[in-house]
Every structure is written in structure tokens, then in C-alpha cells.
């Protein structure tokens, strides 16, 4: 326990904070910027794990995270927003206080669940995994509360970042798995991106309410 733990803890905590910021943010461009920050912190956290675990292959993961999640995907999202002409859109999120409180409750829940279960593990991975679970849960919460397809994409990506964080903390997840996860995210992202344009072409909006009413769903 020392500086190594402190920095790992701080980076993981910052990821939770960035997730909560994503939950709070209602402007699309700012949302993407927070997502970029999220990816950047992830890269730092993974790199720090590589350093304290002396696991060089994790540096590769960190580089992938930096490249894909902090640079490529947010950049692409920026372009999508620009091309769709929705960069000034403000998404109305109903009841921000309640959503934030739910986010905090999820953090508390994941600590409550994870810490007793992992009592035997070493503190660095314990706190990493507990906080990673909260990042994942908040990502899900973002996907549930957002009405805008782009917001849902942001939630999905932050969720994936959380999984990455857990993998980095839990020593010994093979690089192959890591690579394939990253690849699948990229694929998913491309698919989503294409869908966004298709949805937009068809309904003239990417507000999911249009899709729901098209399917005859009740809100």
C-alpha cells in the first residue's frame, strides 16, 4: 500500500466521476468530450496497472484504449454530430437530481456487493473491480435514461470502458480477449453509426421516441 495504490484508486475514482459527468451532461458535444475524457482516464488507469503489475502486455491494452476510445471513436462521433447537424442540440433529461441520485445508489450498491465478495483479493484489484462495476452499472443507467440514440451510444461505450478497467485490474486477462473485445466494440460502433444515419434518413430525427411510436410501443 502506498503511492501505487493511491494512484490506481485515484484513476478508478476519476473514471466513476467521469461516468457521473456523462450521466449529468445534456449537451451532445460536451457529452462526447466527457466520453473522450473517460477513454483517456481509462488509458491512464490501464497503463498504471501495467506499471504496478509489471505486465507489459497491459501497455498494449492501454495504447489500444488511448487510440480507439480516447481518439478514434470520439472523433468519429464528433463527425457524426456535425454531419447530422445536431451539434447544438440539448437533450432534455428529465429529473437530473433523481438520475444522479440513482447513479450514486448504483455506486453504493456495487461497493456493497463487490467488496465483501472479494475480501481475499489484494486491495488494488478489489477497489478496481468494485469501481469498475459501478462504471458498468452507470453506463447501463445512461442507456436507460437517454432518449437520444447518441446518448445511448455514449452509455454503451462507457460501459465497455468499465469492463476494460475491471479486466486490467483482475490480473491475467489474456491479451487476445482484450483485443477481441476492442475489435467487437469497433464493429458495434460502426454498426451503430450506420444505423444512426439510417434512422435519421427515415425519421428525420435520432430521438428514439420516433422509433417507439413507429413500432406502436407505448411509453
Partner 1 sequence: MMGAVAIEALQMAFVLLAAPGLVGIVRAVEARFLRREGPPLIQPYRQLARLLGKEVVLAHNASWLFRTAPYLILALTWVAASVVPTFSTHIVFARLGDLIVITALLGAARFVLALAGLDIGTSFGGIGASREVMFASLAEPAMLMIVVTLAITAGSTQLSSIAAFMLSPVLGLRISLALALVALVIVALAENGRIPVDNPATHLELTMVHEAMVLEYSGRHLAMIELAAALKLLLMISLIVCIFFPFGLGGTGAAGFLLGLASYAAKLGIAAVLLGIFEVSLAKMRVFRVPELLGAGLMLGLLATLLLYVSRSL
Partner 2 sequence: MIPVLLAGTAVLLALALAGAVMKGPGRALYAAASLVAFLSACLALISLPARPETLVLPLGLPWLGWHFRLDPLSALFLFVVDLGAAASSLFAIGYGRHEADPGRVLPFFPLFLASLQLVVLAADAFSFLFSWELMSLASWALVLAQHRDRESIRAGYVYLVMAVLSGLALLLCFGLLASAAGSYAFAAMRLAHPAPGLAVLALLLALIGAGAKAGLVPLHAWLPLAHPAAPSQVSALMSGVMTKVAVYAFLRIAFGLLPVPPGWAGLLVLALGGITSVLGVLYALMQHDLKRLLAYHTVENIGIIFIGIGLAMVFRAAGGEEAAAALALTAALFHVLNHSLFKSLLFFGAGAVDRATGTRDMERGGGLIHRMPQTAFFFLIGCAAISALPPLNGFVSEWLTFQAILLGPGLPAWGPKIIIPVAGALLALAASLAAACFVKAFGITFLGRPRSREAAEAAETDSFSLSAMGVLATLCFLAGIFPAAVINAFAPVSHALLGVAMPAQSHLPWGTIIPVAAARSSYDGSAIFLLILAVTVLAIAGARRLAAHAVRRAPAWDCGFPDPHPVTQYTASSFAEPIRRVFGPVLFGAASIVRMPPPGATAPAQIRSVLHDRLWELFYDPLATGVARLAEAANHLQFLTIRRYLFFVFAALVMLLFSLALFQ
Tell me which residues touch partner 1 (CB under 8 A): 1-3, 5-7, 9-10, 13-14, 16-17, 20, 24, 96-97, 100-101, 103-104, 107-108, 111, 115, 123, 126-127, 130-131
- Shortest approach of partner 2 to residue 98 CB, angstroms? 5
Stretch that binds partner 2, among 30-38, 107-115, 161-169, 190-198 (CB under 8 A): 107-115
**Shortest Å, Cβ 104 to partner 2:** 9
| 16/145 Cα distance (integer angstroms) | 17
SS3 at position 120: coil
Grid look-up 468530450 returns 33
- Taking the C-alpha atoms of residue 81 and residue 147, their distance in angstroms, rounded to an integer, is 16
| CB-nearer residue toward partner 1: 73 or 151 | 151
Angle between the N-to-C axes of helices 3-24 and 96-117, in degrees from 0 to 180, rounded to the nearest 10: 150
Least Cα distance to 19 among 83, 84, 106 occurs for 106
**Does residue 98 interact with partner 2 by CB under 8 A?**
yes
Q: If binding is defined by CB under 8 A, does position 211 make contact with partner 2?
A: no
Positions 174 through 193 that interact with partner 2 (CB under 8 A): none
Beta carbon of residue 107, minimum distance to partner 1 (angstroms, whole number)? 5
Cα angle 124, 49, 5 (rounded to 5 degrees) comes to: 35
Amino acid at each position: 500500500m502506498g503511492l501505487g495504490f493511491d494512484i490506481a484508486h485515484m484513476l478508478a475514482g476519476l473514471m466513476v466521476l467521469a461516468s457521473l459527468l456523462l450521466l449529468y451532461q445534456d449537451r451532445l458535444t460536451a457529452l462526447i468530450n466527457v466520453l473522450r475524457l473517460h477513454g483517456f482516464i481509462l488509458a491512464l488507469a490501464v497503463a498504471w496497472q501495467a506499471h504496478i503489475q509489471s505486465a507489459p502486455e497491459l501497455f498494449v491494452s492501454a495504447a489500444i484504449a488511448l487510440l480507439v476510445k480516447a481518439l478514434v471513436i470520439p472523433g468519429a462521433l464528433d463527425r457524426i454530430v456535425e454531419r447530422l447537424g445536431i451539434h447544438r442540440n440539448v437533450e432534455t433529461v428529465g429529473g437530473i437530481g433523481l438520475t444522479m441520485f440513482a447513479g450514486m445508489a448504483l455506486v453504493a450498491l456495487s461497493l456493497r456487493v463487490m467488496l465483501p465478495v472479494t475480501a481475499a483479493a489484494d486491495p488494488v484489484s478489489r477497489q478496481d473491480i468494485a469501481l469498475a462495476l459501478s462504471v458498468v452499472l452507470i453506463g447501463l443507467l445512461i442507456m436507460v435514461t437517454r432518449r437520444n440514440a447518441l446518448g445511448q451510444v455514449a452509455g454503451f461505450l462507457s460501459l465497455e470502458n468499465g469492463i476494460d478497467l475491471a479486466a486490467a485490474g483482475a490480473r491475467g486477462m489474456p491479451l487476445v480477449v482484450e483485443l477481441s473485445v476492442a475489435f467487437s466494440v469497433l464493429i458495434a460502433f460502426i454498426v451503430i453509426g450506420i444505423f444512426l444515419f439510417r434512422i435519421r434518413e427515415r425519421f428525420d430525427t435520432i430521438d428514439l421516441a420516433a422509433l417507439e411510436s413507429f413500432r406502436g410501443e407505448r411509453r
